[in-house]
Structure 1
Amino acid sequence: MSAAEPPGDGDHQLLVLVDPLARRSDGESVRIAKDVLSAGADAKICFADGPEEFARALARRGSRRPVVVGDDRALLRAVTQLHRERELTGSTLALIPVGAPRSLGLAHALGVPRGAVAAARTALDGTPRRLDLLVDDSDGVVLADLRVPAPAPDGGPHPTGVTAVWDTCRTLITSLVRPAPAPPAPSAPAGSHRLRVEADGVLLTDLDRPVTGLAMAPRGDGGPADVVIHTVSGETVTTRAKAVTVSGPDFRYRADIQSAGPVRTRTWTVRTSAWGLVLPAPPEE
C-alpha cells in the first residue's frame, strides 16, 4: 500500500481508500477524484493492494473521515468492517463510485452522485445523513435490499447406465440390512420454498404455505422495515417489522449484491440511524 499526504486548503481530514479494482477499471476517474479531494482537504491517499490492506488502512484511520473510491463491494466492505469493530455508529463514510455500471447500483440507490467530480465535491461539501440498515444473527449487514428468491430448478443430470444399476443395487442392499426411514415431508412445488416467516413475533406464513419469494428493506426513516412475501397461491403478504426470522429447509438469500447460504434459520433486525453516509445537501426551499 502506498500513501501520500499532500497539504490541503480545507478543514477536512480525509482518509481516501482507493479500491484496487477501481484503479484497474477506471484509472482516470480515480485520478480526478484524488485531485479534487486533495485540492479541497487534508487528504491521505491510500492505494490498497487488496482487501487486507484496505481493512488495515481503515482500522488505522484515526480521526480522518473515510472516503471510499470504488464500487458497491468496496462500500459494503468498509461498512461491514466498521460494524464488526463496533465503530459504525460513530463513523461517517463518503463514496466516490468508480467501476462498471452494473457494480454501482447500490451506490446510486443510496443517493450517491454519478461521476467522479460530483461525488468528490459531495464528499467535501455534502451533508452527513444517518441511515438505517439490517443486521443478521451472523453479524452480516444489509444496506438496502434483502431477498430470499425462489429456488432455481434442479437441472442436474439423472444417473444412467452402470451408475444407475449400482445405485439400484446399493439401495436394495441397504433396505435389507436396516429399517426403511420415515417418509420425508412433502417437498415444496417447483420454484418455491417451505419457509416459516415471523415478523416481530407474529407468524406470517408457515411450512404448509409455500412461498415464491421474500423481500425486506429498511425504509431509512427510523421506523420498521418493509416486508413483502409472495406465496405459491399468488397471495402477497405485506407488513412492516423491526425483526424478521426465516426458518425451514435450507435456503439461500441475497443481501444487497452478495449471495449467502444455505442456512436453516436467519433473523434480520433493523438498526435505526446505524451508519452515516455523506450525500448531496438537500435543495434550499
Structure 2
Amino acid sequence: MAEVATSRIFPAASDQLLVVIDPVARRADGESVRIAKDVIGAGAADAKVCLPDGPEEFARVLARRGSRRPVVIGDDRALVRAVTLLHRRRELADCALSLVPVGGAVSLARSLGVPTGAVAAARAVLDGAERRMDLLVDDSDGVVLGALRIPPVGGVTRVREGAGGAGRPWLRTCRSLVRTLVPARPSGAVSVPEPGPTRLRVEVDGSTLVDLHQPVESVSVTPDASGTARVEVRPVSVGAEAAPLLAEARTVTVSGAHFRCRADGAVSGPVRTRTWVVREGAWGLVVPV
C-alpha cells in the first residue's frame, strides 16, 4: 500500500472521538471490543461511543459525526465500508480514520500498519499519527485500499441451495457430482471453482499492455508510493514459464470477457470493463508513531 509522509500527530487530551463499533465485531469478539472501548475511554478527553445495528445505521452515524474523529472497531470490511462512505460523501480528504481491528478478517489492517491487538491498536488511536495513503477509485465510485487481482485468488461461485432445486432432478444430480469433486463447504452452499485463464485487454495510461489475443493467468494492480499503481500481468505460459508484464500507471483499464475482481477481501463483478484511477494521498489512517 502506498503511503506519503505522516502529516499529523493527535494529542489524546484534546481530541474528540466518535467510536463506531461494528455489529460483526461485537458478535465475533465482545471481549476485545470491551478492552478497546475501555482503553480509548480512559485516554480520550471526549469519546462518544455508537453501536449501529447494521450498514445503514453505520452510514448515518458516520455522516453525523460533526468535528469528531472517527474510530472504527471492526474488521477489514468495516474499514473499507467507512472509507467508501467518506469517499462518496467527498469527505475523505479532511478525515483521518482510526481502526481497532476486531474479527476474523484483519489481514488488510495488518498490511496497513495497524496493530492487531486490541490494547496496542487502541493506544495507537490515542497517540498515533496520521499516515496519508494512495487509493484506487474505479469508474463505479468503488475504492480499493490494498491490492486487487483478476481473477480473484481462491474465488468461488457460491450457489445457494433451497427451493430452486425442487422438481429438477438433473440439477440435484449435478450438485451431487460437484460435492464429490470439491472440498466440503458450510451447509447450504456449493462452491464451484472460478474459471482459469482468460482473455483480457489491459491498458495503462492509454497504452495497451496486453491484448485479447494473449490469454492471461492473472492481473494484479497495487498502489505504489509515487502516486502510481504497479501493474503485473502474468500471461499463460506455453513450455517455458512466461515472464510477467510489468508497468506503472495512474490509470488502469481492464476489458474483455466477463471477469471478477478480488480486492480488500471481497469479490466484485462480473463486469466487461472497469477503469481504476490512483488518487495520491487520498485518505489518512492513524497508525503507531
Instruction: Please confirm whether the aligned pair reaches a TM-score higher than 0.5, indicating the same fold.
Output: yes
2:59 aligned partner, one-letter code: A
Output the TM-score relative to the length of structure 1. Answer: 0.80
Count of residues in correspondence between the two structures: 238
User: Of the candidates 211, 216, 222, which is equivalent to residue 216 of structure 2?
Assistant: 211
Query: Given that residues 244 and 268 in structure 1 are in contact (C-alpha distance below 8 angstroms), is that contact kept between their aligned partners in structure 2?
Result: yes
Pair 150,21 (structure 1): closer, same or farther in 2 beyond 3 Å:
closer
| Residue of structure 1 in register with 2:59 after alignment | 55
1:277 equivalenced with 2:285 (yes/no) = yes
2:106 aligned partner, one-letter code: L
| Residue of structure 2 in register with 1:256 after alignment | 264
Q: Of the two, which has the highest radius of gyration? A: 1
User: Of the candidates 194, 201, 210, which is equivalent to residue 206 of structure 2?
Assistant: 201
| Residue of structure 2 in register with 1:171 after alignment | none
- How far 1:246 sits from its partner (Å)? 0.4
User: Of the candidates 193, 197, 221, which is equivalent to residue 192 of structure 1?
Assistant: 197
Q: Distance in 1 between matches of 2:82 and 2:226?
A: 22
Q: Greater relative contact order: 1 or 2 (C-alpha under 8 angstroms, separation 6 or more)?
A: 2
- How far 1:223 sits from its partner (Å)? 2.5
Q: Distance in 2 between matches of 1:20 and 1:73?
A: 12
| Residue of structure 2 in register with 1:240 after alignment | 248
Query: Given that residues 152 and 267 in structure 2 are in contact (C-alpha distance below 8 angstroms), is that contact kept between their aligned partners in structure 1?
Result: no
| Residue of structure 1 in register with 2:20 after alignment | 17
Query: Given that residues 71 and 125 in structure 2 are in contact (C-alpha distance below 8 angstroms), is that contact kept between their aligned partners in structure 1?
Result: yes
Q: Distance in 1 between matches of 2:196 and 2:53?
A: 41
Q: Distance in 1 between matches of 2:281 and 2:272?
A: 29
1:105-124 correspondence to structure 2 within 5 Å: 105-124=107-126
Query: Given that residues 150 and 191 in structure 1 are in contact (C-alpha distance below 8 angstroms), is that contact kept between their aligned partners in structure 2?
Result: no
Q: Which runs of 5+ in 2 are unaligned?
A: 1-11, 160-168, 171-194
Q: Distance in 1 between matches of 2:141 and 2:127?
A: 32
- How far 1:153 sits from its partner (Å)? 10
| Residue of structure 1 in register with 2:147 after alignment | 145
User: Which stretches of structure 1, 4 residues or more, deviate above 6 A after TM superposition?
Assistant: 150-154
Query: Given that residues 227 and 279 in structure 2 are in contact (C-alpha distance below 8 angstroms), is that contact kept between their aligned partners in structure 1?
Result: no
Q: Distance in 2 between matches of 1:139 and 1:120?
A: 31
Higher strand proportion, which one?
2
Partner SS for 1:216: strand
2:39 aligned partner, one-letter code: V
Q: Distance in 1 between matches of 2:208 and 2:231?
A: 13
Output the TM-score relative to the length of structure 2. Answer: 0.79
User: Of the candidates 83, 94, 101, which is equivalent to residue 98 of structure 2?
Assistant: 94
- How far 1:92 sits from its partner (Å)? 0.5
| Residue of structure 2 in register with 1:178 after alignment | none
Partner SS for 1:195: strand
Query: Given that residues 195 and 248 in structure 1 are in contact (C-alpha distance below 8 angstroms), is that contact kept between their aligned partners in structure 2?
Result: yes
1:127 equivalenced with 2:132 (yes/no) = no
Percent identity, aligned pairs only, is 61
Alignment RMSD? 2.0
Q: CA offsets, 1:161-186, max 9 Å, x none?
A: x99xxxxxxxxxxxxxxxxxxxxxxx
Query: Given that residues 150 and 193 in structure 1 are in contact (C-alpha distance below 8 angstroms), is that contact kept between their aligned partners in structure 2?
Result: no
